[in-house]
């Protein structure tokens, strides 16, 4: 068996694993092949990747270089470095027209990167990036929780901001057509938005966000009489397909699932769900019921958050 490349043995294999998956977008099937060989031969992930032919020596060297850069940089993960590397090769895209909005002070990650909550959000972002790294098109995340007042809208906004801070084209959609709040978090006008576009009453009106040149916000618009029908119709399907082509991350806010079925419809279109609960407030039975209702949608729960406030 060949010896490991110089310096590889001193690099944590978990970090090389992470870098290889993100840099070279290894599929789930490729990762499983590597894991099987790693277990059978009792070798490192990086060495097994070479043996299977999934990555080349030059690709492994590139991953090693990125891991070493991470060790030298302060406060930047390998995931963030990979995201910045990719964005350098992308063309600039104008997402909106007019004056950008300002993130409200309660959206801490936009104003205080050193706050403990900001660090927790970056950890969640990294987890979601790793779980959706082999995707094609934009990564969609629908934020779901059973009840009102569980912090769902704030988390959706903060998560979108965290993706945009990587320099990636990010869209935040307020798909809560019942009691929307994204316009309040960003100080936006909400007369026209998603609901009006779904009803065929106008084009999408995307807002920009100050300090985040790759982020756009689509507010809910005025409350329609038939939210579920609008979100279940072909117009929403076409919008999702268009967002998948033109953005890299799409975060969707939804109404509470215990009161309305809208969130399940949005989750089905998104494919990925981040589940949210509030400590000492959300009951286990409510979470269990939401999980049961999600099963027919064939969505994937890629993250779970317990809010404490």
216-220 average pLDDT score: 96
117-124 average pLDDT score: 93
Q: How confident is the model at residue 89 (pLDDT cuts 50, 70, 90)?
A: very low
* CATH number, domain 108-307, options 3.40.50.880, 3.40.50.720, 3.40.50.300, 1.10.730.10: 3.40.50.300
What is the residue-averaged pLDDT of the chain? 83
pLDDT tens-digit map of 228-279:
999 999 999 999 999 998 899 999 999 999 999 999 999 999 999 999 998 8
- Give residue 70's pLDDT: 58
- Give residue 92's pLDDT: 40
Q: Is the pLDDT of residue 69 over 90?
A: no
Rounded to an integer, what distance in angstroms lies between the CA atom of residue 16 and that of residue 62? Answer: 10
Q: Measured in whole angstroms, how far is the alpha carbon of residue 78 from the centre of its chain?
A: 17
Residue that is written with structure tokens 């009691």 in the block: 179
Model confidence, pTM: 0.71
Q: Is the pLDDT of residue 196 over 90?
A: yes
267-294 average pLDDT score: 91
70-86 average pLDDT score: 53
| 29-38, 195-204, 215-224, 287-296: segment of lowest average pLDDT | 29-38
- Residue, of 201 and 127, whose pLDDT is higher: 127
94-120 average pLDDT score: 86
Which range has the top average pLDDT, 12-26, 92-106, 239-253?
239-253
- Residue, of 53 and 226, whose pLDDT is higher: 226
pLDDT tens-digit map of 131-151:
886 556 789 999 999 999 999
291-302 average pLDDT score: 90
- Give residue 88's pLDDT: 43
Give residue limits of the domains in the chain.
8-87, 108-307
Q: What whole-number percentage of the chain has pLDDT above 70? A: 81
- Give residue 94's pLDDT: 40
Give the Cβ contact number of residue 28 at 10 Å.
Answer: 10
- Cα separations (Å) of 3 from 7, 34, 48, 166? 11, 18, 12, 36
For residues 46 and 20, the answer to whether their CB atoms sit within 8 Å is yes
């Amino acid at each position: 068996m060949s010896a490991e490349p110089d310096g590889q043995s001193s690099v944590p294999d978990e970090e090389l694993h992470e870098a290889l998956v993100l840099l070279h977008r290894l599929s789930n099937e490729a990762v499983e092949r590597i894991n099987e060989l790693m277990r059978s031969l009792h070798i490192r992930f990086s060495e097994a990747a070479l043996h299977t032919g999934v990555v080349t020596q030059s690709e492994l060297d590139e991953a090693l270089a990125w891991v070493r850069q991470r060790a030298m940089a302060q406060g930047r993960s390998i995931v963030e470095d990979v995201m910045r590397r990719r964005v350098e090769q992308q063309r600039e895209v104008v997402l909106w027209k007019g004056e950008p909005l300002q993130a409200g002070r309660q959206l801490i990650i936009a104003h205080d990167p050193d706050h403990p909550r900001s660090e927790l959000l970056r950890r969640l972002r990294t987890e979601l990036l790793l779980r959706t790294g082999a995707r094609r098109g934009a990564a969609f995340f629908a934020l779901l929780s059973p009840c009102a007042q569980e912090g769902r809208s704030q988390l959706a906004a903060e998560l979108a901001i965290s993706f945009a801070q990587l320099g990636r084209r990010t869209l935040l959609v307020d798909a809560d057509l019942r009691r929307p709040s994204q316009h309040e978090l960003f100080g936006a006008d909400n007369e026209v938005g998603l609901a009006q576009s779904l009803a065929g009453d106008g084009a999408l009106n995307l807002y920009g966000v100050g300090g985040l040149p790759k982020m756009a916000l689509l507010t809910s618009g005025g409350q329609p009489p038939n939210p579920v029908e609008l979100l279940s119709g072909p117009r929403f399907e076409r919008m999702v397909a268009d967002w998948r082509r033109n953005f890299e991350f799409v975060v969707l806010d939804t109404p509470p699932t215990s009161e309305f079925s809208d969130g399940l419809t949005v989750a089905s279109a998104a494919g990925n769900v981040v589940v949210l609960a509030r400590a000492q407030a959300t009951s286990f039975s409510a979470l269990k019921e939401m999980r049961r209702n999600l099963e027919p949608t064939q969505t994937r729960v890629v993250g779970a958050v317990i809010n404490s406030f």
